[in-house]
Amino acid sequence: MIELKAGRLRCELAPELGGCIAGLWLDALPVLRSTPAAQLDSGRQSGCYPLVPFSNRIGQATLVWQGTQHPLVRNDGDEPHAIHGVGWQRPWTVLDSDGASAMLAYEHAPDAAWPFAFDCSHTLRLSPEGLELTLALTNQAQQPAPAGLGWHPYFPKRPASRIAFRAGGRWEMGPDKLPTVRRVSGGLEADCAVLDVDHCYDGWNGQAQLRDEALQVRLTSSLARLVVFTNASRDFVAIEPVSHVNNAVHLYAAGAAAADLGLRVLQPGESMMAQMTLAVEAA
């Protein structure tokens, strides 16, 4: 476990559990869904974890790339798809750490979960105002490879929680939890208690707010897509900055343009980077 402190904010990291953020607190109040790192069994239970080298789902856990079909691992229980990449289920190495910052790294060798080699770094800096995160990924394969980055933060759904952000479009979801069609959407401004959503928004301006009677969190990111997930049965709201649309590799194989999907095709040795900041204020 790594503990970061700055002002009234405290953050615990669990590098061995997918490089996850176990918790982020303002004094004793959870900013993210927060559990002491020592009590976690997996990164899936944490407050936030990095999404590498793809976000959300790859349909039926099968990657079709440059004419070759690669079976992937169904890596989340009964989920029929590959989900959230591989980094969240692998141990990360601590490259550097001090009282307010840390740098983690993960090196991936080709395996059944992902057939392309890559390495990734995750830098986290805590200040009295909030948490800054930077992800960077480099293609270490000998061929062009698809790549994506993102984060999966979970925020507590407290009384009077409201979410607000602007976007250009929303991808509708089929019963298989895969995107079907893009529709024009201005984003969201809603009470989280009545919200039922599991969609990827694109044309996002990189800003989102979540506020309740106790806290205001302002999320900003260099990424242009946002996945939002919650419903009445959940005590959290997932607000996930991501680089590409859900199931982007299949949509790309079906003829959609990589740029429209946000899918990066990295040449050998090429890198991509993403940033996210969580600015925290007491109400």
- 194 backbone dihedrals φ, ψ, rounded to 5°: -110, 5
How many structural domains is the chain composed of?
1
Measured distance CA(13)–CA(34) in Å, rounded: 11
CATH of the domain at 38: 2.70.98.10
Question: What is the number of H-type helices and E-type strands within the chain?
Answer: 2, 27
Sheet-wide strand order for 93-97: 93-97, 101-108, 118-127, 130-139, 271-282, 215-221, 207-211, 162-166, 187-191
Whether 244 contacts 262, CB under 8 Å: yes
How far is it, in rounded angstroms, from Cα 92 to Cα 224? 26
Domain that holds residue 77: 2-282
Q: What share of the chain is helix, strand, coil (3-state, %, to 5)?
A: 10, 50, 40
3-state DSSP call for residue 62? strand
pLDDT in tens, the chain (283 residues): 999 999 999 999 999 999 999 999 999 999 999 999 999 999 999 999 999 999 999 999 999 998 899 999 999 999 999 999 999 999 999 999 999 999 999 999 999 999 999 999 999 999 999 999 999 999 999 999 999 999 999 999 999 999 999 999 999 999 999 999 999 999 999 999 999 999 999 999 999 999 999 999 999 999 999 999 999 999 999 999 999 999 999 999 999 999 999 999 999 999 999 999 999 999 8
Q: Are 90 and 18 in contact (CB under 8 A)?
A: yes
